[in-house]
């Protein structure tokens, strides 16, 4: 009896490069590229309200980097091949890694009542939120992309998005916009010592083999 071959399937190596994308991946890529455009557009709007040159420099460097990664992703998505540029870049922030811990008195936050009230505290918070959201979207979609070139670009961009978000956090923290409370020393000690490393090998259970559907059930006769 002849066995019928499965229909409706095709191997990725049988497709042209620019067609080697799954349907779900195409929608994800559109979402990510649209998010990157959204971040850059909003950065451009934020810049018109900024007065602190330090934050302006951060925004300009991040915008330039985002634009380069966007162009790489568009190239890979449209062609399915390795982009003309060699590889994804590595973003290097300029902020110090020193974090200020503790709380200082500050005015309660509330929505702005006019355009003139928009300040660096709010603008940098918007930047941080945009970067966190885009990094999360990229991380979730990169694990399921079928095209290896596009997947690698998205995966390599995630650490850079994290680095940019961390840079904005450090800027906020340094200026008192993002305060970092700590637990009491005793509570901190208890929390950090709440886990222990494993010291013995695990005793993994044996895998249970499923029954063979082709073998008839044997009845025991007396």
- pLDDT band, very low/low/confident/very high, at 15 (cuts 50, 70, 90): very low
What's the confidence (pLDDT) of residue 64?
96
Map out the domains of the chain as residue ranges.
Answer: 15-104+116-185
Q: What is the pTM of this model?
A: 0.81
Share of the chain above pLDDT 90, in %: 63
Higher pLDDT, 99 or 86: 99
What's the confidence (pLDDT) of residue 11?
45
By residue count, the chain amounts to 222
Q: What is the DSSP letter of 109?
A: P
> 17 pLDDT exceeds 60?
no
Name the phi and psi angles at 75, rounded to 5.
-60, -50
Higher pLDDT, 118 or 83: 118
The answer to whether 160 and 88 have CB atoms below 8 angstroms apart is yes
As a whole number of angstroms, the distance between CA 118 and CA 50 comes to 9
For the stretch 29-64, what's the b/e string if a residue is b when 16 or more beta carbons lie within 10 angstroms of its beta carbon? beebeebbeebbeebeebeeebeeeebeebbebbbe
Residue in this structure with the two tokens 């010592």, named with its chain if needed: 193
CATH number of 15-104+116-185: 1.20.1260.10
The answer to whether 74 and 158 have CB atoms below 8 angstroms apart is no
| Model pLDDT for residues 28-86, shown as the tens digit of each residue | 889 999 999 999 999 999 999 999 999 999 999 999 999 999 999 998 888 877 777 65
Higher pLDDT, 187 or 19: 187
| Model pLDDT for residues 102-111, shown as the tens digit of each residue | 999 888 899 9
What's the confidence (pLDDT) of residue 1?
45
Region 167-175 average pLDDT: 96
What's the confidence (pLDDT) of residue 121?
96
Residue in this structure with the two tokens 């810049």, named with its chain if needed: 47
Q: Which two tokens stand for residue 112?
A: 């702005």
Nearest CA to 35 out of 130, 122, 155, 126 is that of 130
């Amino acid at each position: 009896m002849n066995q019928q071959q499965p229909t409706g399937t095709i191997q990725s190596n049988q497709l042209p490069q620019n067609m080697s994308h799954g349907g779900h991946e195409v929608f994800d890529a559109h979402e990510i590229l649209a998010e990157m455009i959204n971040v850059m557009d909003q950065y451009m709007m934020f810049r018109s309200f900024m007065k602190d040159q330090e934050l302006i420099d951060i925004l300009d460097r991040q915008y330039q980097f985002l634009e380069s990664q966007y162009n790489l992703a568009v190239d890979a998505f449209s062609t399915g091949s390795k982009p003309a540029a060699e590889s994804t870049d590595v973003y290097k922030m300029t902020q110090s890694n020193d974090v200020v811990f503790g709380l200082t008195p500050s005015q309660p936050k509330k929505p702005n009542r006019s355009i003139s009230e928009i300040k660096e505290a709010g603008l940098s918070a918007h930047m941080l939120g945009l970067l966190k959201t885009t990094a999360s979207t990229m991380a979730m979609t990169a694990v399921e992309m079928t095209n290896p070139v596009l997947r690698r670009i998205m995966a390599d961009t995630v650490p850079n998005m994290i680095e940019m978000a961390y840079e904005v956090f450090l800027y906020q923290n340094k200026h008192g916009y993002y305060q970092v409370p700590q637990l009491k020393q005793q509570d901190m000690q208890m929390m950090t010592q709440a886990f222990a490393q494993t010291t013995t090998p695990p005793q993994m259970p044996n895998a249970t083999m499923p029954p063979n559907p082709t073998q008839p059930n044997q009845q025991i006769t007396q």
